[in-house]
Structure 1
Amino acid sequence: MRRMVLRFLSLILLLLASEASAQRFQTEAGEVVFLSTAALNEFTGESSQLNGLLDLESGLIDFYIDLNTLDTGIGLRDRHMRDNYLETKKYPFAEFSGNLEKSGPLEMNEPLEVEARGTFTLHGKEKFLNITGTLTQLTASEILLETGFEVVLGDFDIEIPKLMFYELSETQTVTIQARLKKTDL
């Protein structure tokens, strides 16, 4: 956790060092949904507490979520997910930190395809990801980020017990929708 806090603080310092504040956007209430589709069971987990920063001028992007905020609608399943698989007492956050590699000028209400490359951290493990999505200029001070990607639990040393094989998918589909507002950070 300390390492993640230091990375987040270093990102903030980089953003503060940037001269153009007109291109920085932030959210503290983005939507994250994961879908687990297994042989005998399908369920989602959701949170509306995604935090993130996006600097369109420098291309820096950093999003994180407190995994304790994920809700599947069943309390017992949530406790098992947090305690037995995600181990949120030890690894409370998931984070993506990287750079926009493909973008262009934003036009009002016109989705722009973008690509970000960076490191996704989960369960204390890091994996390099290429993530595609869209940015849409909603107002002069607000943009919408929409994206989706897959997370293979084994890539992050999250084991699925044999008995859970039919209830929990090895691959989780993650979708994100976040309204980001201009910030002077």
Structure 2
Amino acid sequence: MLLLCLHAGAQQYRTESGAVEFLSTAALNEFTGESGQLNGLLDMDSGLVDFYIDLNTLDTGIGLRDRHMRDNYLETKKYPFAEFTGKLEKSGPLEVNKPTEVQARGTFTLHGKEKSLNITGTLTRLSPSEILLETGFQVTLGDFDIEIPKLMFYELSETQTVTIQARLQKVDL
């Protein structure tokens, strides 16, 4: 994807092992799903932000629930990825070990549908070659034509809370 569009001299950082977690809180059941395979690119010069996850890597800790989630609701054979692409709207200089609040405006794609999102998070410079990204946002399944199970309505929340933590390494060009 965009990881191939690197240009010389840029301050670009990427990850292939960021952590993603979603929390589903319904009336009678709460569970999380997680993956440690978030891929992403952050270009500090242009403000480009691009992160994606293979939804087949999400794990809720129960194999049958994972299969139902992938096959019946996320339809990962047809829509294997979720992606956010956008630009940093607000950021400042990054100081070592000092979290800096940032905002990104862009498009979140899930289940073949796109939705504009504004996401607030923090960037923390850990060293000259490493930045920590932390953020969280809400995903409403109906916005992406993902149906809630009718017979098991109590097991899945319409709104999922997504959190991301990723250590991004500077790209040597």
TM-score > 0.5, shorter chain as reference: yes
Partner of 2:16: 28
Does residue 40 (structure 1) correspond to residue 32 (structure 2)? The answer is: no
Q: What do the CA deviations read for 1:70-98 (whole angstroms, capped 9, x no partner)?
A: 00000000000000000000000000000
Does residue 78 (structure 1) correspond to residue 66 (structure 2)? The answer is: yes
Does residue 12 (structure 1) correspond to residue 10 (structure 2)? The answer is: no
The whole-number CA distance in structure 2 between the counterparts of 1:108 and 1:166 is: 45
Does residue 163 (structure 1) correspond to residue 155 (structure 2)? The answer is: no
Structure 2 residue identity aligned to 1:104: G
Aligned length: 173
Partner of 1:4: none
Structure 1 residue identity aligned to 2:12: R
Structure having the higher helix fraction is 1
Structure 2 residue identity aligned to 1:176: I
The alpha-carbon deviation at position 162 of structure 1 amounts to 1.7
The whole-number CA distance in structure 2 between the counterparts of 1:143 and 1:184 is: 14
2:71 alignment partner, SS class: helix
Give the TM-score, by structure 2 length: 0.97
Partner of 2:119: 131
The whole-number CA distance in structure 2 between the counterparts of 1:163 and 1:142 is: 46
Q: Is there any run of 5+ residues in structure 2 with no aligned partner, and where?
A: none
Asked if the contact 1:143–1:179 (Cα under 8 Å) also holds between the matched residues in 2, the reply is yes
Does residue 95 (structure 1) correspond to residue 77 (structure 2)? The answer is: no
The alpha-carbon deviation at position 20 of structure 1 amounts to 2.4
Give the TM-score, by structure 1 length: 0.91
Structure 2 residue identity aligned to 1:79: R
Asked if the contact 1:20–1:57 (Cα under 8 Å) also holds between the matched residues in 2, the reply is no
2:77 alignment partner, SS class: coil
